[in-house]
Amino acid sequence: EVQLVESGGGLVQPGGSLRLSCAASGLALSTFWMCWVRQVPGKGLEWVANINRDGSETYYVDSARGRFTISKDNAKNSLYLQMNSLRADDTAVYFCVRGHKGLEIWGQGTTVTVSS
C-alpha cells in the first residue's frame, strides 16, 4: 500500500523553527516529484513547495521563499520541510503530497501552530 506519513508538527513561538518529515512507503521518492501543501483549518488549500525527483530543483510560494527549505533523502525515502522564522500565518495543517501535475497521493497531514 502506498502511504505518506507526516510528522514533526507542533506548537512553536513566532520566529521559531520546525522541521516536518514525511516518510514514504510503497513508493520510491526518487522516482517522483513531491510537494508540501498547507491548509488553514476551515479554509482552502495553498501549495507551499515542490521538489523534483533527484532534489536538484525546488520551487516555493513567495511567502515561503527564503524561510522554508524543501528537501528529500531518497536513501531514507523521506521528504522534509525545514521552516524557519515562523509566523502566525504559517499556522496550518501541512500535507506531504506526491505529484508534479495532478497531486495524486496525500498524507493525512501534520498540524503546525505558531503562537506565543
Partner 1 sequence: EIVMTQSPGTLSVSRGEGVTLSCRASQTIGNNLAWYQQKPGQAPRLLIYDAATRLTVVPARFSGSGSGTEFTLTINSLQSEDFAVYYCQQYNDWPRTFGQGTKVEFK
Q: Kindly state whether residue 103 participates in binding partner 1, applying the rule CB under 8 A.
A: yes
Q: Which of residues 30-89 bind partner 1 (CB under 8 A)?
A: 35, 37, 44-47, 50, 59-62
Q: What whole-number distance in Å separates Cα of residue 115 and Cα of residue 13?
A: 5
Which of 32, 34, 68, 107 forms a contact with partner 1 (CB under 8 A)? Answer: 107
Name the DSSP class of 107: -
Q: What whole-number distance in Å separates Cα of residue 82 and Cα of residue 94?
A: 12
Which of 8, 27, 99, 113 forms a contact with partner 1 (CB under 8 A)? Answer: 99
- Phi (first) and psi of residue 13, to 5 degrees: -80, 155
- Contact residues for partner 1, defined by CB under 8 A: 35, 37, 44-47, 50, 59-62, 95, 99-104, 106-109
